[in-house]
Structure 1
Amino acid sequence: MPFDPMLIVYAGLLILTGAVAGVMAGLLGVGGGIVIVPVLFLLSGALNIPPDIAMHVAVGTSLATIIPTSIASARSHNRKGAIDWDLLRGWAPFVFVGAGIGGLLAKVFSSLVLTGIFGCVALIVALNMIKPKQIIVAQQPPTSVAGRGVLATLIGGFSALMGIGGGTLSVPILTLFSFPVHRAVGTASAFGLVIAVPAVLGFIWAGWGVEGRPPWSLGYVSLPAALLIFSTSIFAAPQGARLAHWLSPAKLRFAFAIFLGLTALRMLGAVFSGG
């Protein structure tokens, strides 16, 4: 089989994508999937991945890259004391369960419907965060098992289905409960690891033996693509974490709101265009 020179270009794009995703992981507490998934999906046609599994491969591979990126980001935030370990211990089991369910049921639900719901919610949250005075629903996150269980399970499930880190949902949700934005971002970076591990296992199981997957894949996870992406993301994540602690809380909240708003518009655009 002749060598395709475009593979070098594709590899370069994935390495660049990893660098951008790593900075976003450290800066905003996300696993970078909001960048990685669209890039992998756009490249799927060039790599001859069938349309009916292209999104599954993009999401599964993105989740795999979140594992090392979240570790690098969380370590940087922890050195600055920005991870709330009490909240993490209380929410992590529910996030884990939600992510596992999301990974197993990824091919059951319509991705278009989930994208539309998430896009609407994300846009509302972004508008709230960008306002001079935020909406506060309570002075602290829920302390009851039922309250934190519902929120954490939804965060894990939706994040797994979309191939994103937990920060996209957990940061705005925590700020609704008067949680300091720096600690929300730092804690969300650790949520990324809790989400990615069970979700990746689900996507490997769901895609095992499916025809049309790229070479060297484990289920819906493309190992070469994942390796290229996190080869730079793990080094870029600490830089993003340092930038997060240089910015003021107001500037960080504004940066996250812009990021979340653009993400929501991209998702809603995909819905209205039919995917």
Structure 2
Amino acid sequence: MYWLLLGFGLLTGVTTVLFGFGGGFIVVPLLYTLLIALHGTQSEIGQAAMHIAVATSTCVMIFGTGLATRRHFIAGTLRWDLIRPFMLYIAIGAVLGATAALNLNASWLRWAFIIYLLLTILDSVFRPGFMHESQNNIRPMSTAQTASLGIIIGGFAALLGVGGSVMTVPLMRRRGASMTSATAMANPLSLPMAISGTLTYMILASREHVSLGSWHIGYVDVAACIILVAGSWIGIRVAARWIGRIPDRIHAKIYILLLCMVLGVMIAV
């Protein structure tokens, strides 16, 4: 189990730095499947498997997105003038989303994750803007747009444990960003969601007297988180050399392909 987590942590690091996602889209299906296989669906951990997977994913993202943000900062691919206005609103949305997740049935949460993925894939493929090559002329948004979209992104991301990249990358892409810029900005935009969401999952689960045994803080599986973070650190170091080197249209197509692969895994489990 530990080597599998380490290997998938490495994959998480690669996809985080190159595509702006990884923590949720890889950790949630993997950890959900492992918990069910190890403990069964009728055990206390098995019944909380989706909540544990989502909460642990948000915790892993604190470290993954933080490291990836540093790498993109060094590479000079971040646009802080576009990132800063979103961060507070995403953090607010994350608290709301994590609170809602703790009051939802785990099976419903899994299907919400699947529907969210499917709609994102269809939207990116069939709506103009995502698949076309961009010259990276990004159009700014109004304060009202930034606030409303930030809260929505943070809410859905924390609810499903996937980070904001699945919404911020298509959003920035349609506003003229290249894939390199869009995926670079997805990392610092996921960071406030990850911090707010993790703290909410820990605090609210403790208040509800959820006890899943040692190495758990609320719904966060600390042991799994540590191993995944270690693998993620290796993956980020390996993938950093490819920042800005993937052709724009190929970058966009690989992004969609990865989403399709994760969708297949979540439907199969």
State if a TM-score over 0.5 links the two structures: yes
CA offsets, 1:31-64, max 9 Å, x none?
4221111111111134425332110111111111
TM-score normalised over the length of structure 1: 0.85
Q: Say if 2:162 is the partner of 1:167.
A: no
- More off after superposition, 16-25 vs 121-130: 121-130
Aligned pairs (5 A) from 1:131-170: 134=132, 140-141=138-139, 143-170=141-168
Q: Which residue of 2 aligns with 1:4?
A: none
- Deviation of the 1:108 alpha carbon: 2.3
- More off after superposition, 111-120 vs 29-38: 111-120
Aligned partners of 1:46, 1:58: CA distance in 2, in Å?
A: 13
Q: Say if 2:245 is the partner of 1:246.
A: yes
- More off after superposition, 87-96 vs 244-253: 244-253
Q: Of the candidates 53, 56, 64, which is equivalent to residue 51 of structure 2?
A: 56
- Deviation of the 1:134 alpha carbon: 4.0
Aligned partner of residue 108 in structure 1, secondary structure: coil
Aligned partners of 1:250, 1:226: CA distance in 2, in Å?
A: 33
* Aligned-residue CA RMSD (Å): 2.5
Aligned pairs (5 A) from 1:181-260: 181-208=179-206, 209-211=209-211, 213-260=212-259
Q: Which residue of 2 aligns with 1:69?
A: 64
Q: Of the candidates 33, 38, 41, which is equivalent to residue 32 of structure 2?
A: 41
Aligned partners of 2:239, 2:187: CA distance in 1, in Å?
A: 11
- More off after superposition, 191-200 vs 122-131: 122-131
One-letter amino acid of the counterpart of residue 184, structure 2: G
Aligned partner of residue 246 in structure 1, secondary structure: coil
- More off after superposition, 179-188 vs 45-54: 45-54
Q: Which residue of 1 aligns with 2:16?
A: 25
CA offsets, 1:223-271, max 9 Å, x none?
111011101202211332332322111211111121123334545x36x
- Deviation of the 1:131 alpha carbon: 8.5
Gaps of 5+ in 1: 1-9
Judged with a 3 Å threshold, the aligned counterparts in structure 2 of structure 1 residues 113 and 141 are, in CA distance, closer, same or farther, namely farther
Gaps of 5+ in 2: none
Judged with a 3 Å threshold, the aligned counterparts in structure 2 of structure 1 residues 147 and 14 are, in CA distance, closer, same or farther, namely same
Aligned partners of 2:243, 2:24: CA distance in 1, in Å?
A: 18
Q: Say if 2:87 is the partner of 1:92.
A: yes
Judged with a 3 Å threshold, the aligned counterparts in structure 2 of structure 1 residues 232 and 115 are, in CA distance, closer, same or farther, namely closer
Judged with a 3 Å threshold, the aligned counterparts in structure 2 of structure 1 residues 12 and 132 are, in CA distance, closer, same or farther, namely closer
Asked whether the 8 Å contact 1:62–1:164 carries over to 2, the reply is yes
CA offsets, 1:51-82, max 9 Å, x none?
32110111111111111111111111111111
One-letter amino acid of the counterpart of residue 108, structure 1: N
Judged with a 3 Å threshold, the aligned counterparts in structure 2 of structure 1 residues 262 and 218 are, in CA distance, closer, same or farther, namely same
- Deviation of the 1:175 alpha carbon: 0.7
Judged with a 3 Å threshold, the aligned counterparts in structure 2 of structure 1 residues 223 and 50 are, in CA distance, closer, same or farther, namely closer
- Deviation of the 1:163 alpha carbon: 1.1
Aligned pairs (5 A) from 1:8-19: 10-19=1-10
Aligned pairs (5 A) from 1:107-126: 107-109=102-104, 110-112=108-110, 114-126=112-124
Judged with a 3 Å threshold, the aligned counterparts in structure 2 of structure 1 residues 13 and 133 are, in CA distance, closer, same or farther, namely closer
One-letter amino acid of the counterpart of residue 241, structure 2: R
Asked whether the 8 Å contact 2:169–2:186 carries over to 1, the reply is yes
CA offsets, 1:138-162, max 9 Å, x none?
x755522211112221111111111
